[in-house]
Structure 1
């Protein structure tokens, strides 16, 4: 995952009230981890193009900044007595968050109930163990009265970015839902039905030259989409299943600077997921190597990514991805990531063994394309972000 703060803004065209949850920017380190009838929007926090956060109030006024993650389906916060492996800071509080937060859940909060259940979730190479609680969860005026979530007692491999994760995937892959039989997805917990089983994500680019804290970095609209955040047509691809937001990429090709198209459709077994909780676009290793050869990229185990010449950032040469005959263009300012004095490619390797169960379209894609997660119609849509 990459790190970025955002605002969660509950936007409505069918209700008179608009619910807004503000997020902010922060700088951070790179890591990979690698849901009534109303429409709501929430601003996101952009933390240097690496993670997007939303502030969530749990119980009696406990505020946590949670990574917004469409690649998982559970909500957890850091719990008391949390432990990590030696040399791992995943259980340490994140002192770079711009607003004071609870950081660690007060499990003695009278509004919370301990469900006496535990669960384990794996996020790529990271993992979390948590006790399951239930209680009120508030998104700046928008409240779920009895939402099940985790209080983590063991976290490894996530780093100390934020105070936990807010998963926006399906109930079918939620460990909380499996353990408790309760609705653990935002969709189901809100009782959204029919065409309102939809949300859109807008992930802004980070302004590295004019970085300041407390700047809106994006938006999530739940129960509808925000037409002001994209331009041009929406193109849709069908979902493969109601688990991850997964779609078929068997026709995917790549070209750069007038090059002949390179076939990428075999990556991830021909499937990919859309994941706001992951920073880059991850492909099978051999294909990631070939894509980055156009940039002269050298893979670095230190960064877990390809280091490239920073000249590419201002090259204005687009990367063109073609899927089912539709061309999607990523600008150089989107696929080149300045970081600690070097520049990294937005395309990276996905698996330690060279292969993975699916490819991953992370924030590098999501900052260029407004993404629509449409459960009702079983599809995912992309439109050029403004």
Structure 2
């Protein structure tokens, strides 16, 4: 399927694309899917992929081996998903991409992908022969998913985000995307924003390339994610610093305990004033919508919320009692970051079409937390690559 001028115009209009370059700071508008309501099946798929992403069976991020291939995941389109525009090649070929701090590789579908792969056929594909700046790499790559695998070849080319042009960036050209994982997503591929330590083939991640090529004023990027599911303009990803107009007060920074994932020390967690967790590790992950808790905390939280357990490790909540649910507070760097029921309760359509309420706290069978978009949407998050630290502050539009 070709990529005509008409298709390009429609794609640009649908994303409401605009970029701004001021002092080597680039703003990328984040697209948010119009429908907030996920199906129960999609909610389960997101949870399954989350577990695969962090290789829980292998012991989690502290001990997981990456030698046999990186493991990452994507949220389902209707289960809270944020994406934005990227251009690859000369002339640039446009892609709508998921920006994921829980992985570190950049990949897009290849024009060489088989016609039998529906995921490839449903998205724009990278045509290496149409790019004057394409350089073959020769190495193969493979990424394992909970519902399949992704494989292809590595290449180098120019990657542009707004006015930032990264030269000779190594990325993956996906030639095999089996299964249904990527078929219905509103993005073509991933821009991994984790560190090189977790990247397939130890490839330099895109943002680290920006820093090395001195394209940004500060080696910092930050996320502002809107939580109104009816908005097409879903927030902003800022490369090169932070936007103080998007948050209240000052950012609370804490050092990373491991520069692979965005991993840091979590002082504690309180539910309705009751301390249920202390001195755990946590990971900030823009590539998942959920909040993943260790086994003990998972059971305690959902019990205190009055959740009804199901055979699929979900907890159903009474939609009519949401106003009576407690505040859940994460203590980071000595500061309190609270979530209200409207933040941590996910509405979904059941298999029969009826509306249900689900706890956003899912099980992580390891001793660490994953703070996904449920948390990052409530708190502006700054990812400081240069100083190996992460910072949080209440988003201005949602501050109390």
Measure how far apart 1:326 and its partner are.
1.8
Q: Does 1:50 align with 2:80?
A: yes
For 1:364, the equivalent position in structure 2 comes to 374
Which residue of the partner structure matches residue 327 of structure 1?
336
How far apart are 1:47 and its partner, in Å? Answer: 5.4
Residues of 1 paired with 2:128 and 2:310: CA distance? 41
Corresponding residue for 1:148? 170
Q: 1:53 deviation in Å?
A: 0.6
2:209 to 184, 188, 191: 188
* Alignment partner of 1:237 is 2:254: yes
> Aligned runs of 1:75-86 on 2, under 5 Å?
75-80=106-111, 82=113
1:171 maps to 196
Aligned residue among 55, 60, 66 for 2:97: 66
**Cα distance per residue 1:125-161 (max 9 Å; x no partner):** 7643231121122223432232211111234673432
1:21/1:136 CA distance change after superposition, 3 Å: farther
**Any stretches of 5+ residues in structure 1 without a counterpart?**
35-45, 95-101
C-alpha deviations, 1:211-247, integer Å up to 9, x for none?
Answer: 36xx210111111101111102211111012211111
State the distance in 2 between where 1:194 and 1:216 align: 24
* 1:226 and 2:243 matched: yes
Match of 1:128 in 2: 150
Q: 1:113 to 1:371 in 2, by over 3 A?
A: same
Distance in 2, Cα, partners of 1:193 & 1:58: 17
**Structure 1's 247 and 22: CA in aligned 2 closer, same or farther, altered over 3 A?**
closer
Q: Does 1:355 align with 2:386?
A: no
Q: Is 1:271 the counterpart of 2:274 in the alignment?
A: no
Report the counterpart of residue 97 of structure 1 in structure 2: none
Report the counterpart of residue 255 of structure 1 in structure 2. 271
| 1-structure distance, mates of 2:160, 2:286 | 21
Aligned Cα RMSD in Å? 3.2
In the other structure, the counterpart of 1:40 is: none
Count of residues in Structure 1 that have an aligned counterpart in Structure 2: 339
Q: Please, which runs of 5 or more residues in structure 2 have no aligned partner?
A: 1-13, 54-75, 350-354
Match of 1:23, SS? strand
Q: Distance in 2 between matches of 1:300 and 1:70?
A: 30
Report the equivalent of 2:300. Answer: 290
The answer to whether the 8 A contact 2:86-2:161 is kept is: yes
How far apart are the structure 2 equivalents of 1:247 and 1:134?
A: 32
**Aligned-partner Cα distance in 1 for 2:166–2:238:** 16
Secondary structure of 2:249's counterpart equals: strand
What secondary structure, in the 3-state scheme, does the structure 1 residue paired with 2:209 have? helix
